[in-house]
């Protein structure tokens, strides 16, 4: 069940007036009991040469980046997570504390809403939201 899809990712940090939105073609499929959406990052995101995979489960969501930038960020209401975010400029340790996780995804795509605190070692946590929409194509 691999389908072409349009994937929209909108990110916003509380206090910022600007939202960052990426709308890109990608793939959507189901493997085992998880849904996956994959897309290639572009120069606009600053991560050209990176493939992003979204792993979607009923109560857990993972954002996995491989390439020029690599990281695995896990969002789970039950536990906080630590991620090593590797960039061409160095590695950053991120702490993710998921406050809200709404997943409404089926074979046709769907929506994911995440509200979380993102902490970079030694700095004040940033209140962040992530809205993802996946629309499969015929």
Taking residues 84-112, what's their average pLDDT? 92
pLDDT of 93 above 70: yes
Token pair of 133, please?
């929409």
Query: Torsion over CA of 117, 42, 2 and 61, rounded to 10 degrees?
Result: -10
What share of the chain has pLDDT > 70, as a percent?
A: 97
What pLDDT score does 110 carry? Answer: 97
pTM: predicted TM-score of the whole model, two decimal places: 0.89
What pLDDT score does 45 carry? Answer: 67
- Write the pLDDT tens digit of every residue in 25-80: 999 999 999 999 999 987 666 677 789 999 999 999 999 999 877 889 999 989 99
Distance CA 61, CA 4 (A): 20
Cβ proximity of 83 and 75 under 8 Å: no
What pLDDT score does 51 carry? Answer: 92
Nearest to 130 by CA among 85, 88, 74, 57: 74
What pLDDT score does 46 carry? Answer: 66
What pLDDT score does 25 carry? Answer: 96
* Strand positions, DSSP E, the chain: 3-13, 20-31, 34-40, 50-56, 61-67, 71-75, 81-87, 90-106, 109-120, 126-136
What pLDDT score does 121 carry? Answer: 78
What share of the chain has pLDDT > 90, as a percent?
A: 64
- Write down all domains in the chain, each with its CATH number in brackets: 3-136 (2.40.128.20)
**Residue that the structure tokens 């030694």 belong to:** 122
49: CB partners within 8 A, 6+ apart: 41, 67, 68
Distance CA 87, CA 90 (A): 5
């Amino acid at each position: 069940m691999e389908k072409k899809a349009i994937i929209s990712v909108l990110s916003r940090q509380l206090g910022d007036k600007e939202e960052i939105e990426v709308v890109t073609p990608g793939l959507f499929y189901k493997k085992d009991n998880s849904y996956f959406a994959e897309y290639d990052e572009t120069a606009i995101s600053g991560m050209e040469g990176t493939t992003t995979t979204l792993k979607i489960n009923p109560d857990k969501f993972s954002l996995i980046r491989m390439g020029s930038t690599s990281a695995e960020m896990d969002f789970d209401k039950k536990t906080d997570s630590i991620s090593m975010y590797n960039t061409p400029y160095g590695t950053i340790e991120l702490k993710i504390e998921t406050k809200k996780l709404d997943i409404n995804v089926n074979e046709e795509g769907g929506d994911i809403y995440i509200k979380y605190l993102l902490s970079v070692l030694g700095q004040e946590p940033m209140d962040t939201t992530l809205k993802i929409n996946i629309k499969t194509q015929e």
